[in-house]
Amino acid sequence: EFGDDYRIIIKDVWKEYTGWPLNDMERQYKFMVKHVGLWSVAFHGTSPKWIHRSYLSALAAYYAKEIETGLMEYKPDIIISVHPLMQHIPLWVMKRQG
């Protein structure tokens, strides 16, 4: 209906612009799902708010430039994210940009 009015680009910013462990999250997650005990340790070990904030802040500080590069390469008008956990860092980067 809209023809060439819109250009849709699907990007995995984590896989394409960051390093380990973020660029390998899909494989790690699939492994942990098969080994429920590991998944449980990872989930419950990072659930307390102070731990969650600490590691997200560390990852944000370390990978902010890469995420910013990935987001701004295409200067998107809209970003749709499908995983709530992985939204924190891009939101932090965009907030920093104003």
Q: Compute φ and ψ for 74, nearest 5 degrees.
A: -110, -5
**How far, in Å, CA of 2 to CA of 75, rounded?**
21
Q: Is 63 part of a structural domain of the chain?
A: yes
- Domain extent, residue 47, equals 20-97
Residue 5 domain-assigned? no
Does the pLDDT of residue 83 top 80, yes or no? no
Q: Let me know if residue 4 belongs to a domain.
A: no
Number of domains in the chain: 1
What is the rounded distance in angstroms from the CA atom of residue 4 to the CA atom of residue 68?
Answer: 27
Q: What is the pLDDT of residue 40?
A: 93
The DSSP secondary structure of 22-80, one letter per residue, reads GGGHHHHHHHHHHSHHHHHHHHHHS-SHHHHHHHHHHHHHHHHHHHHHHHHTS--S---
Residue 68 lies in a domain: yes
pLDDT tens column, 24-38: 988 998 999 999 999
Across the chain, mean pLDDT equals: 86
Is residue 7 in some structural domain? no
